[in-house]
C-alpha cells in the first residue's frame, strides 16, 4: 500500500477542509445562513423613544422602494453627499454614510440618530411607515405600519426574485410579545422579513389575521442594561461582604491563637 509522506498528507487534508469550507459558505450565502438583504432598516431603540437607525440598501432597491434617483450604475461612484442630504431631516441626524458593491450592484450604508422614533415617519426616507411607541400599562409597546413603496421601475438590475427586505428591531428590555413569526434573535433582536418582489407589490410585511400588517413588539419597562448593572452591583457587594467576613475571621482567629499560646518561662541570667 502506497503511503504518502506526512507533510503531503497534511497538505491534502488541509486542502480538503478548505474546499469543504468554500462549499459550506457557498451553500449558506444568499438566502441561506448568511442572509444578504437588498433593503434593510435596523433600529436600536431606547426606552426614552430615541434610537440609532441603520439603513443598508442597494441603490436600485432604494430607488424602487423610496423613489430616489441615485445613479444605479455599479461602476459609478455613489454621491455620498447627496445621500447624506437625502437622509438629513428635522427628525434624523446622519452620522455616517458608506458604500460597497455586491452582486454587481452598488450598496449604501447610512447610520442615523433619532431623538423621537414616533416622528421618524415625518422624514421623507421613512414616510412610508407610521411609528408608534408608548407606555402600555406595565410595558412598552412598539408598532410600525409599513405602507406602499414608491413603485419606481429600476429596470434590469440583475435581481433573481430571491432578494429580501428586512425590518430589524433591537430592544432594550425583555420582550414579552412580538409577531415576527420567528424566535427572538441573540441580543434581543426581532426581524420581520419578506421578499423584495412582495414589498414592491405592497404585500403586508406581517400576515396578521386582521390583515393590518402592523409590526408589533412589547417589552418590559425596565431595561436589560439597568437590570444587569444592578445584578453586577449586588454581586460585587455580596463578594466584598464575604471577603470582609473571611478577613475578620482570620484576624480574630490569629488573635485568639496568640492569646491562648503559653508563654515561655524566662531563663535565669
pLDDT tens string 192-221: 999 999 999 999 998 655 556 799 999 999
Are 23 and 35 in contact by the 8 Å Cβ rule? The answer is no
Which range (25-34, 41-50, 140-149) has the least confidence?
25-34
Give the model's confidence band at 35: pLDDT under 50 very low, under 70 low, under 90 confident, else very high: confident
Summary mean pLDDT of the chain: 82
Instruction: Answer whether residue 250 is part of any domain.
Output: no
Instruction: Answer whether residue 22 is part of any domain.
Output: no
Average pLDDT for residues 243-250, to the nearest whole number? 66
User: In terms of residue numbers, what domain contains 49?
Assistant: 33-222
Instruction: Answer whether residue 15 is part of any domain.
Output: no
Which range (157-161, 165-169, 223-227) has the least confidence?
223-227
Instruction: Answer whether residue 237 is part of any domain.
Output: no
Instruction: Answer whether residue 8 is part of any domain.
Output: no
Query: Rounded to two decimals, what is the model's pTM?
Result: 0.72
User: What is the domain count for the chain?
Assistant: 1
Instruction: Provide CB contacts within 8 A for 150, sequence distance 6+.
Output: 64, 65, 66, 67, 128
Amino acid at each position: 500500500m502506497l503511503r504518502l509522506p506526512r507533510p503531503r498528507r497534511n497538505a491534502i487534508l488541509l486542502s480538503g477542509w478548505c474546499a469543504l469550507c468554500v462549499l459550506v459558505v457557498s451553500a449558506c450565502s444568499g438566502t441561506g445562513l448568511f442572509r444578504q438583504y437588498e433593503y434593510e432598516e435596523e433600529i436600536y431603540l431606547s426606552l426614552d423613544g430615541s434610537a440609532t437607525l441603520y439603513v443598508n440598501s442597494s441603490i436600485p432597491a432604494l430607488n424602487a422602494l423610496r423613489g430616489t434617483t441615485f445613479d444605479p450604475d455599479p461602476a459609478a461612484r455613489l454621491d455620498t453627499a447627496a445621500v447624506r442630504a437625502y437622509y438629513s431631516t428635522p427628525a434624523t441626524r446622519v452620522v455616517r454614510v458608506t458604500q460597497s458593491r455586491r452582486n454587481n450592484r452598488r450598496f449604501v450604508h447610512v447610520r442615523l440618530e433619532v431623538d423621537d422614533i414616533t416622528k421618524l415617519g415625518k422624514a421623507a426616507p421613512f414616510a412610508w411607515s407610521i411609528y408608534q411607541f408608548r407606555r402600555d400599562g406595565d410595558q412598552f409597546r412598539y408598532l410600525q405600519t409599513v405602507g406602499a413603496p414608491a413603485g419606481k421601475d429600476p429596470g434590469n438590475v440583475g435581481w433573481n426574485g430571491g432578494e429580501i427586505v428586512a425590518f430589524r428591531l433591537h430592544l432594550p428590555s425583555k420582550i414579552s410579545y412580538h409577531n415576527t413569526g420567528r424566535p427572538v434573535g441573540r441580543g434581543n433582536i426581532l426581524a420581520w422579513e419578506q421578499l423584495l418582489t412582495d414589498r414592491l407589490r405592497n404585500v403586508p410585511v406581517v400576515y396578521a389575521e386582521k390583515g393590518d400588517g402592523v409590526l408589533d413588539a412589547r417589552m418590559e419597562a425596565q431595561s436589560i442594561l439597568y437590570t444587569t448593572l444592578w445584578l453586577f452591583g449586588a454581586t460585587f457587594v455580596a463578594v466584598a461582604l464575604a471577603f470582609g467576613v473571611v478577613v475578620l475571621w482570620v484576624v480574630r482567629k490569629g488573635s485568639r491563637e496568640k492569646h491562648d499560646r503559653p508563654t515561655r518561662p524566662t531563663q535565669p541570667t
